[in-house]
C-alpha cells in the first residue's frame, strides 16, 4: 500500500512552504530586535548535526522496503537534545530541521536543561500494520543508537507516534545498552512513563489559552473556539477548554472540519474517533472544510495539526481575536504581519505547546531517580513553569513593543547566546 494518499498529497502541497525558512525568518527578526552578535546568529541558524538513515524493513507481504528517516540535533548548548519523532508521509529534512530548531527555542524559553532535536520517518502510519511499524521503529532506533542516549539525545512522541512507539524505542535501546528508561519520554506509565504526559501538551495549550484570555479581559463563558487537528494535542486541548467553559464549535482532522454552532460534545467526538479512527461520518456536527474552519467567526482559534495552515493566502480572512498555536509552525512567517495588522493576538507554538516537553522533562527526572510522582504532583510542578514562561514573554513583548512570537524568540535566543558565551570554547 502507498504511503501517500491523494488527499495527503494535496495537504502536502500547502505544507511544503519551507518550515525551516519560516523558523529562520522569525529567528532573524528577533535577533535584529536585540542586535544579536553575528557569531550567535551563525551558530544558532544551523543545526549541530543532521543525520539521514535508510532503513530496509521487511513488510508483511514478504517484500523489503527502504524507509528514509531523519534525526536533526539543533543545539546541545543548554543540555542533551530533546525532541519528538514524527511519522508522516510528508516528513523531509527541511521540516525536521525546522522542528529541531523550534525545540531548542522551546526548551530554552521554558528554562529546561535541554537542547533541541527532532526526528521523523517518511511513512504513512495509517497504511502500515502494527508489526511493520514496530520493525520500522526498532530499525530506526538501531540506526540511531549512538545518537540517542539519556545524556545526549532523548526522543519523544510527535505526530503519528505515541507511547506505543516510545515503548519500542525504550526496549530496543535497552536490549543494546541495558535498562535505560530515560533514553525516551512519552512511554506508557507501566514502562516508566510519567503520569500526565499523554494529556500534557493539550493541558499546556489550555493553560496558555486561559492566561491569554485573562490578559485580553475576555469572559471564558462567552467564548467560542475552533480547534484544527483532533489527535493527541487537539483532542486534549478541546476537552480541557470545554471544561473551562469555552464553547467548542468546530474541530477537524485530515478528513475535514465538523461544525456545530451550539457547541460540540467533545467526549462524544473523541469516542467516535476511538472507534472509527477518524472524524469522518461524525453526525454530531455539520461537515465543513479545514479551510472553512480556520476562517470561522470564532473568538479563539487553535491550529493543532500541521505546519503552514495559515499563510498569506488566508490570513486576511481569519476572524478570531486570539490564536493559540497547538501545532508547531501552523502560521507561516509571511502571515504574521497580516495577523498583527488585524490586532490578532498569537500565543506562539514554542510557548503554547511547551507543556509536553515540560512533563517529558519530569518523566526523565523520575526515570533517573527511580522515584515517581502522582498526577497532582506533576501538575503542581509543571504549572508554575508554564505560567512564568508566559509572563516572561508578555513582559518582553511590552519591553520591545513586539509580538508575543518575537518576544518568545528573544527570551530563548538570549538564553542560548548566554550559554554559548559562557561555554567560551572558541
Ligand atoms: P497526532 O498525530 O496525534 O494528530 C494529528 C491530527 O492532525 C490528526 O487528527 C490528523 O488527522 C490531523 N491532521 C493532519 N493533517 C491535517 C490537516 N491538513 N488539516 C487538519 N487536520 C490535519 O499529532 P499530535 O501529536 O497531536 O501533533 C499535532 C501537532 O502538535 C504537531 O505540529 C506536533 O508537532 C505538535 N506537538 C505535539 C506534541 C505532543 O506531545 N504530541 C507536543 C508539542 C507539539
State whether the beta carbon of 161 lies less than 6 angstroms from ligand 1: no
DSSP string computed for 338-390:
HHHHTT-EEE-HHHHTTHHHHHHHHHHHHHHHT----HHHHHHHHHHHHHHHH
204 and 249 both lie in a single domain: yes
Of the residues 163, 190, 217, the one at which a domain ends: 190
91 and 235 both lie in a single domain: no
Q: Using CA atoms, how far apart are residues 131 and 270, in angstroms rounded to an integer?
A: 25
Please report the atom of ligand 1 found closest to the CA of residue 99: 34
Mean pLDDT within 26-34: 98
Q: Which of 167, 169, 184 is nearest to 138 (CA)?
A: 169
Q: 1 pLDDT band (50/70/90 cuts)?
A: low
239 and 93 both lie in a single domain: no
Q: 10 pLDDT band (50/70/90 cuts)?
A: very low
Q: Using CA atoms, how far apart are residues 337 and 344, in angstroms rounded to an integer?
A: 10
Q: Is 98 inside any structural domain?
A: yes
Helix (H, G, I), strand (E, B) or coil at 209: helix
* Pair 248, 238: CB distance under 8 Å: yes
Q: Is 359 inside any structural domain?
A: no
Query: pTM for the whole thing?
Result: 0.95
**Beta pairing partners, 56:** 66
Domain that holds residue 274: 200-352
174 and 211 both lie in a single domain: no
Mean pLDDT within 54-61: 98
53 and 183 both lie in a single domain: yes
- Cβ burial of 48 (10 Å; 0-12, 13-18, 19+) is middle
Q: Is 386 inside any structural domain?
A: no
144 and 226 both lie in a single domain: no
Q: 3 pLDDT band (50/70/90 cuts)?
A: low
Q: Which of 192, 233, 235, 139 is nearest to 373 (CA)?
A: 192
Neighbours of 386 (CB within 10 A): 22
State whether the beta carbon of 236 lies less than 6 angstroms from ligand 1: no
130 and 210 both lie in a single domain: no
Query: Which residue's C-alpha comes closest to atom 43 of ligand 1?
Result: 353
Query: Which residue's C-alpha comes closest to atom 3 of ligand 1?
Result: 231
Of the residues 352, 383, 418, the one at which a domain ends: 352
Mean pLDDT within 345-361: 98
Of the residues 321, 337, 352, the one at which a domain ends: 352
With the most atoms of ligand 1 within 8 angstroms of its CB, the residue from 116, 133, 158, 290 to mutate is: 158
Quote the number of domains for the chain: 2
Amino acid at each position: 500500500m502507498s504511503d501517500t494518499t491523494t488527499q495527503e498529497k494535496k495537504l502536502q502541497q500547502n505544507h511544503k512552504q519551507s518550515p525551516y525558512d519560516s523558523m529562520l525568518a522569525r529567528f532573524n527578526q528577533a535577533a535584529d530586535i536585540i542586535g544579536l552578535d553575528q557569531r550567535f546568529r551563525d551558530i544558532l541558524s544551523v543545526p549541530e548535526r543532521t543525520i539521514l538513515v535508510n532503513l530496509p524493513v521487511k513488510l508483511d507481504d514478504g517484500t523489503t522496503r527502504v524507509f528514509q528517516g531523519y534525526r536533526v540535533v539543533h543545539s546541545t548548548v543548554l543540555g542533551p537534545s530533546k525532541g519528538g519523532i514524527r511519522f508522516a508521509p510528508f516528513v523531509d529534512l527541511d521540516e525536521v530541521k525546522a522542528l529541531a530548531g523550534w525545540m531548542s527555542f522551546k526548551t530554552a524559553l521554558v528554562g529546561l536543561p535541554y537542547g533541541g532535536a527532532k526526528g521523523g520517518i517518511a511513512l504513512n502510519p495509517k497504511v502500515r500494520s502494527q508489526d511493520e511499524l514496530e520493525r520500522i521503529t526498532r530499525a530506526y532506533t538501531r540506526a540511531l543508537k549512538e545518537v540517542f542516549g539519556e545524556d545526549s539525545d532523548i526522543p519523544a512522541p510527535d505526530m503519528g507516534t505515541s507511547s506505543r512507539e516510545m515503548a519500542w524505542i525504550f526496549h530496543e535501546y535497552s536490549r543494546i545498552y541495558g535498562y535505560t528508561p530515560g533514553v525516551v519520554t512519552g512511554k506508557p506509565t507501566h514502562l516508566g512513563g510519567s503520569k500526565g504526559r499523554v494529556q500534557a501538551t493539550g493541558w499546556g495549550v489550555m493553560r496558555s489559552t486561559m492566561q491569554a484570555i485573562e490578559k485580553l479581559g475576555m469572559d471564558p463563558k462567552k467564548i467560542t473556539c475552533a480547534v484544527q487537528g483532533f489527535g493527541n494535542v487537539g483532542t486534549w486541548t478541546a476537552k480541557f477548554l470545554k471544561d473551562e467553559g469555552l464553547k467548542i464549535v468546530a474541530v477537524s482532522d485530515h478528513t475535514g472540519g465538523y461544525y456545530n454552532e451550539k457547541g460540540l460534545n467533545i467526549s462524544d467526538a473523541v469516542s467516535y474517533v476511538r472507534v472509527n479512527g477518524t472524524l469522518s461520518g461524525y453526525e454530531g456536527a455539520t461537515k465543513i472544510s479545514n479551510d472553512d474552519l480556520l476562517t470561522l467567526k470564532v473568538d479563539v482559534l487553535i491550529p493543532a495539526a500541521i505546519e503552514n495552515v495559515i499563510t498569506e493566502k488566508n490570513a486576511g480572512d481569519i476572524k478570531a481575536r486570539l490564536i493559540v498555536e497547538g501545532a508547531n509552525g501552523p502560521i507561516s512567517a509571511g502571515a504574521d504581519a497580516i495577523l498583527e495588522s488585524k490586532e490578532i493576538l498569537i500565543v506562539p507554538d514554542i510557548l503554547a505547546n511547551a507543556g509536553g516537553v515540560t512533563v517529558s522533562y519530569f518523566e526523565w527526572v523520575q526515570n533517573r531517580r527511580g522515584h515517581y510522582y502522582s498526577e497532582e504532583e506533576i501538575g503542581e510542578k509543571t504549572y508554575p513553569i508554564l505560567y512564568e514562561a508566559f509572563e516572561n514573554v508578555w513582559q518582553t513583548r511590552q519591553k520591545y513593543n513586539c509580538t508575543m512570537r518575537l518576544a518568545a524568540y528573544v527570551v530563548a535566543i538570549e538564553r542560548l547566546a548566554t550559554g554559548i558565551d559562557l561555554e567560551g570554547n572558541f
